[in-house]
Amino acid sequence: MKERTREDKDLLGSMELPQECLYGIETARALSNFQVTGRPVRMELITAMITVKKAAVLANQDTGRLPEEKAEAIISACDEILRDSHSFRSAFPADALQGGAGTTTNMNVNEVLANLGLRHMGHKPGEYVYLHPLDDVNMGQSTNDVYPTALRIASIGLVRALSQSCSRLQESLQRREQEYDRVVKLGRTEMMDAVPITLGEEFGAYAQAIARDRWRIYKVEERLRQINLGGTAVGNRNNTTRQYMYRVTDHLQELTGYGLARAEYPMDLTQNCDVFVEVSGLLKALAVNLIKISTDLRIMNSGPYGGLSEIHLKPLQEGSTIMPGKVNPVIPEMVTQAALAVIADDSAITSAASMGNFELNAFMPLIADRLLESLTVLDQAVRTLQEKCIDLLEADFAGCRKHLEHALIYATVLSPYIGYEKASELASKCGNDRKKFCEKVIEEGLMTSEELHRVLHAEKLE
């Protein structure tokens, strides 16, 4: 039996679509024109845009511009999707990368809400004479104020989640700091032996770095709260009113629960994307710290016989198809790759933001896709690092201790008492024999036995 179809029309002509298809001709054209990534627009952006649309409908209802029947139909459509967005994934198929500064995404949302609204009104999808995607759903709006506002809302939700994940990772690192505060190990600079430290101090330093990341990411939400909604095409409120601009912001605050504020200069936020670059830059800073920490963990875990073996990461899966018994540090490896992807995303976001022209940036889809991806990837990576690595690792007390048993480390510790040149001379003579080094210090009258033991005890070397 042949599927029933409907004919949708636009400026460029007409197209047949399945009768019950929720999207319309503009989305169908985009499916043909934009076949790049094979990935649809992220659902976080779609649901944020639908929330924006609901706020706009409520504002237009307040100002008397939109009849009650139409307003209620659109609101019902918005609520239906927001209740179970996963069920509507197929209604938003447009590729993540698209020309037109996000117009395709806005049109897709307009069409779906119109067609769902038509169902609520008792009409068929495509009968736009009763409820129109542009005249009604998009009333008082432009892609140029809806899209960046939706991106900010979507980003705030993910920023909050990432900040919380960083907080939990920080707490886990601090627990290790306290647990291993008396586990003495060899500190290293430039991958060479340096001075004694504790394993706890090492984890404490990691905790400090993540604490800075958590605070930076938490604070950057303030930048995202300013919105240009109501500014329409270029930020000067074409085709809308000041009353609408105030009401739509109020409704959006209520719907999201976020402390959103009208931009002092909407044209600024319409054309400039530096705030997204700032957010991305802070994500890159977190990525850099994650790579550093993950690399250290991999090296401290190296072995079990030919490496440092100062910690043991939890074995999570077999590591080789040819070497029986081999287990790899898979979580730090995964985290490193995720962080490298975020650094690459930051480069793309930076370039795209710099290429805006005059009153609009045409490359917002790339900025949105990469920023939301970075936020999501980092959140998952941070949580996995905490739950499957930091919380499960164990210290190798003997492994930490064995690297301290050589003359050079004792020379470094005792040089303030016997002089740099003398310490260097004795270390050269005694090589890896720390016992011989200590004996020489006493034999040559450089320190008494009691003085030597007091210093070594204070440094936790005995």
413 contacts 195 by C-beta, under 8 angstroms: yes
SS3 165: helix
State how beta strands 311-312 and 394-395 pair. antiparallel
CA proximity to 29, closest of 78, 93, 110: 93
How far apart CA 411 and CA 2 sit, in angstroms, is 88
> Distance (Å, rounded) from C-alpha 33 to C-alpha 38?
12
Task: State the Cα–Cα distance between residues 237 and 118, nearest whole angstrom.
Answer: 29
Q: How far apart are CA 302 and CA 358, in angstroms?
A: 54
What is the C-alpha separation between 44 and 256, in angstroms, rounded? 13
Report d(CA 389, CA 394) in Å as an integer.
10
DSSP class per residue in 389-409: IITT-EE-HHHHHHTT-SHHH
Cβ atoms of 382 and 290 within 8 Å: the answer is: yes
Give dist(CA 191, CA 277) in Å, integer: 34
326: number of CA atoms within 13 Å, CB side? 9
CA distance 424 to 418: 10
d(CA 20, CA 30): 19
Q: Are 417 and 455 in contact (CB under 8 A)?
A: yes
Name the active-site residue from 90, 320, 351, 354.
320
Q: Are 174 and 209 in contact (CB under 8 A)?
A: no
Q: 54-93 in b/e burial notation, b at 16+ Cβ within 10 A?
A: bbbbbbbbbbebbeeebbbbbbebbebbeeebeebeebbe
Q: For residue 9, count other CB atoms closer than 10 A to its CB.
A: 12
Q: How many CA atoms lie within 13 A of 124 on its CB side?
A: 12
How buried is residue 278: exposed, middle or buried, by Cβ count under 10 Å (0-12/13-18/19+)? middle
Neighbouring CB atoms inside 10 A of 411's CB total 22
374 is catalytic: no
Catalytic residues: 320
